[in-house]
């Protein structure tokens, strides 16, 4: 306990004291469950990326594997630091400076995870939109805003602790008002990050709707198209849930509802879990589109349904389907491009 000339008393307590003990146990339980799911999804995504032939020659696969592995490793480091920091605070063993260094590492990892998660989500939208320049420019501006906001928030968050050499403990000023030294800027990054994910999810939903119309019109609602629609729906729903987590985090940070500490940890591990889930859904979607495309081609190969031939009066609305991939990208979802049977006329590209 210390006192200054203004007669303001500051009492430092640890996260294991009195009423915070139950919150800590509850927090660790939720984090443990989420991290268990994260482990399962990471192993699944790694298996999907590594089992396909040509992994060493596919730059997109290597980038995705490296990114998800890096995020998974950062999650492990953050979890270990959080547990170690909690025990050390409880025993009053660490110096304030050492506590602040650990907290600084955690805070840096957290914001880096958020930025990488946004990049992967934006990458999915860009690929579905065939690398449209307008989409790339929009998402690039949003990600740049997230990066700048994350760096500024990190500085605002860490400055009080290192400037005054006070530990990141829960403090009480004048014996009444609880506050956290390092939480002075937790809302700066919410806007750009939430905007990036909302725009990316909206673009994915728009493209999914276009694919739905194309499948129903040209593939006659086959089983493959229905499964693809379900995977696209899961991709959209997961993005919507992730955005909802950010909204709940914002509300809890404003003090409208309790549980800010829990939401902070839930959001951190969800930021690693979400892009890992995206990779799994993309792999499922690619396989299903290939299946439905092959099935449709097999149906066309059975012979002209109306006794017409290419040289005859084949209806102009009959299209064949081909797949387009980005240069060297095995992780890209095939875009359905409809081409008229005449060599001189091509249908619109989706």
Q: Are 183 and 254 in contact (CB under 8 A)?
A: no
In degrees, rounded to 5, the angle at the alpha carbon of residue 285 between the alpha carbons of residues 335 and 200 is 70
| Residue 333: predicted pLDDT | 42
Maximum distance among all alpha carbons in the chain? 98
Q: Are 276 and 45 in contact (CB under 8 A)?
A: yes
Domain that holds residue 252: 2-303
| Residue 194: predicted pLDDT | 92
| Residue 10: predicted pLDDT | 42
CA-atom Rg of the chain in angstroms? 26
Q: Give pLDDT < 70 ranges for the chain.
A: 1-27, 85-100, 160-186, 215-226, 228, 284-350
| Residue 136: predicted pLDDT | 94
Q: Domain for residue 242, yes or no?
A: yes
Q: Domain for residue 315, yes or no?
A: no
When divided into structural domains, the chain yields a total of: 1
Q: Domain for residue 322, yes or no?
A: no
pTM for the whole thing? 0.67
> Looking at the chain, which runs of residues are DSSP E strands?
2-3, 9-13, 170-173, 177-180, 319-324, 335-340
Q: Domain for residue 100, yes or no?
A: yes
Q: Domain for residue 343, yes or no?
A: no
| Residue 203: predicted pLDDT | 92
The CATH code of the domain that includes 53 is 1.20.1070
Q: Domain for residue 340, yes or no?
A: no
| Residue 238: predicted pLDDT | 86
Q: Domain for residue 311, yes or no?
A: no
Instruction: Give tens-digit pLDDT for 160-179.
Output: 666 655 544 433 333 333 34
Instruction: Give tens-digit pLDDT for 68-105.
Output: 899 899 888 888 877 776 655 544 444 455 556 777 88
Q: Are 178 and 18 in contact (CB under 8 A)?
A: no
| Residue 77: predicted pLDDT | 87
| Residue 236: predicted pLDDT | 86
Question: Torsion over CA of 23, 26, 29 and 30, rounded to 10 degrees?
Answer: -100
């Amino acid at each position: 306990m210390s006192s200054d000339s203004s007669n303001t008393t500051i009492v430092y307590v640890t996260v294991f004291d009195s009423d915070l003990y139950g919150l800590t146990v509850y927090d660790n339980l939720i984090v443990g469950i989420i991290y268990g799911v994260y482990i399962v999804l990471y192993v699944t995504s790694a298996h999907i990326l590594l089992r396909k032939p040509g992994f060493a020659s596919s730059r997109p696969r290597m980038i995705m594997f490296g990114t998800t592995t890096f995020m998974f490793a950062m999650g492990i480091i953050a979890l270990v630091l959080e547990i170690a920091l909690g025990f050390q605070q409880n025993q009053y063993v660490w110096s304030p400076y050492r506590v602040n260094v650990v907290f600084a590492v955690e805070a840096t990892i957290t914001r880096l995870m958020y930025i990488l998660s946004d990049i992967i989500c934006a990458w999915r939208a860009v690929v579905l939109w065939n690398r449209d320049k307008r989409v790339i420019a929009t998402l690039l501006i949003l990600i740049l805003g997230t990066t700048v906001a994350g760096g500024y928030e990190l500085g605002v968050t860490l400055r009080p602790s290192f400037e005054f050499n006070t530990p990141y403990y829960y403090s009480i000023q004048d014996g009444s008002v609880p506050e956290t030294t390092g939480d002075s800027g937790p809302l700066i990054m919410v806007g750009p990050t939430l905007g990036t994910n909302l725009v990316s999810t909206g673009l994915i939903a728009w493209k999914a709707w276009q694919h739905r119309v194309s499948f129903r019109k040209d593939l006659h609602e086959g089983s493959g198209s229905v499964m693809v629609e379900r995977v696209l729906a899961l991709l959209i729903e997961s993005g919507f849930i992730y955005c909802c987590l950010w909204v709940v985090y914002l509300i809890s940070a404003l003090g409208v509802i309790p549980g800010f500490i829990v939401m902070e940890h839930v959001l951190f591990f969800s930021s690693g879990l979400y892009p890992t889930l995206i990779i799994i859904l993309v792999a499922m979607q690619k396989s299903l589109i290939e299946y439905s495309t092959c099935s449709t081609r097999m149906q066309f190969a059975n012979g002209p349904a109306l006794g017409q031939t290419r040289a005859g009066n084949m209806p102009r609305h009959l299209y064949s389907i081909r797949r387009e991939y980005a240069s060297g990208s095995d992780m890209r979802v095939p875009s359905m491009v409809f081409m008229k049977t005449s060599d001189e006329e091509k249908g619109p590209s989706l």
